[in-house]
Amino acid sequence: MHQKVAIITGGAQGIGKAIVRHLLGRGMAVVMADIDREAGRETLAEFKKLGKVRFIPTDVAGESNVRKMVAASVKWFGGIDVLVNNAAVMANAPFDQLRLADWNRVLAVNLTGAFLCAKHAAPYLGKRRGAIINIASTRAFMSEPNTEAYSASKGGLVALTHALAMSLGPQVRVNCISPGWIETASSRKTSARQIPRLSEADHKQHPAGRVGTPDDIAALVDYLVSDAAGFITAANFMVDGGMTRKMIYV
Ligand SMILES: NC(=O)c1ccc[n+]([C@@H]2O[C@H](COP(=O)([O-])OP(=O)(O)OC[C@H]3O[C@@H](n4cnc5c(N)ncnc54)[C@H](O)[C@@H]3O)[C@@H](O)[C@H]2O)c1
């Protein structure tokens, strides 16, 4: 059997980094496609001992960038089995002050980026009965004020998931994970790393009793890309400690 190959966008830090570690642990060869060179180089140095891993600087919002990243992945490792669309940015601002350029950038990275990566990886994924995982957010379904661009991009990603599942099945399964509050301050590059400042109340308000970790998301990615998940496609999974099901009337 061939060694499976995974591309993780935004894989250099945070949740993406945990996904890279989990898939390396599963014996896959992994390509981290991230716009942050400093983070990419640092994570590459950290993970080299875990298996076959490469970093390629990529802006997922640019089609020529994505085309090059996919071609390099195939050249390095011979094909693609898994694509995780995880890269994202936020531009929160009062609705009436949100600049069109910022709205467009958030949509371009978070939604168009996933479309471009899927488009260029699909021919290779199809040859290997591959899987795509889109990392959306509970903000696709619920909101705080002043989050229009991010929420809209994530809502679009949930819809893109079921559309792609219809177009690419049965060769490629496409699923979505919507994380809730995941603590990532401690898994950023060294120059941006912070000690998490989580209060008792932050944890306690979750029906699961705690804030989430990147490993909570990576563990589900691990399962969804495995053969055991062969009947699961076009689905969205809330991984939020129960917060989206909690009534909060005061
Ligand atoms: N952390 C949370 O609480 C949370 C909650 C819900 C959803 N999410 C989602 O999970 C995913 C990961 O979040 P995170 O908290 O780890 O974020 P993060 O900011 O720690 O990491 C995102 C990574 O994406 C990279 N990136 C940004 N723009 C890019 C681009 N144009 N091309 C390629 N790479 C790019 C960044 O350099 C970074 O390494 C995102 O899709 C985010 O929306 C996170």
Task: Output helix, strand, coil percentages for the chain, rounded to the nearest 5.
Answer: 50, 15, 35
**57 within domain boundaries:** yes
- Model confidence pLDDT, tens digit, residues 5-33: 999 999 999 999 999 999 999 999 999 99
Q: What is the pLDDT of residue 250?
A: 87
238 Cβ neighbours under 8 A, 6+ residues apart: 138, 141, 178, 180, 244
- Model confidence pLDDT, tens digit, residues 144-175: 999 999 999 999 999 999 999 999 999 999 99
Residues 69-76 have a mean pLDDT of 98
Give distance in angstroms: CA of 173 to centre of ligand 1. 22
Give distance in angstroms: CA of 6 to centre of ligand 1. 17
Is 177 touching ligand 1 by the criterion CB < 6 Å? Answer: no
Q: Indicate which atom in ligand 1 lies nearest the CA of residue 10.
A: 24
**20 within domain boundaries:** yes
| Residue 184 reports pLDDT greater than 90 | yes
* Stated pTM of the model: 0.98
User: Quick check: is 150 catalytic?
Assistant: yes
- Model confidence pLDDT, tens digit, residues 25-64: 999 999 999 999 999 999 999 999 999 999 999 999 999 9
**168 within domain boundaries:** yes
Picking from 237, 209, 220, 206, the residue whose alpha carbon sits closest to that of residue 140 is 237
- The boundaries of the domain holding residue 146 are 5-245
**Residue 113 is part of a domain; what is its CATH number?**
3.40.50.720
**33 within domain boundaries:** yes
The tally of domains found in the chain comes to 1
Is 108 touching ligand 1 by the criterion CB < 6 Å? Answer: no
**250 within domain boundaries:** no
**145 within domain boundaries:** yes
pLDDT band at 96 (very low <50, low <70, confident <90, very high): very high
Give distance in angstroms: CA of 89 to centre of ligand 1. 6
**Alpha carbon of residue 104 to chain centroid:** 19
**144 within domain boundaries:** yes
Q: Please report, rounded to a whole number, the percentage of residues in the chain having pLDDT higher than 70.
A: 100
Q: What is the pLDDT of residue 61?
A: 98
**137 within domain boundaries:** yes
Q: What is the pLDDT of residue 1?
A: 84
Is 40 touching ligand 1 by the criterion CB < 6 Å? Answer: no
Q: What is the pLDDT of residue 192?
A: 95
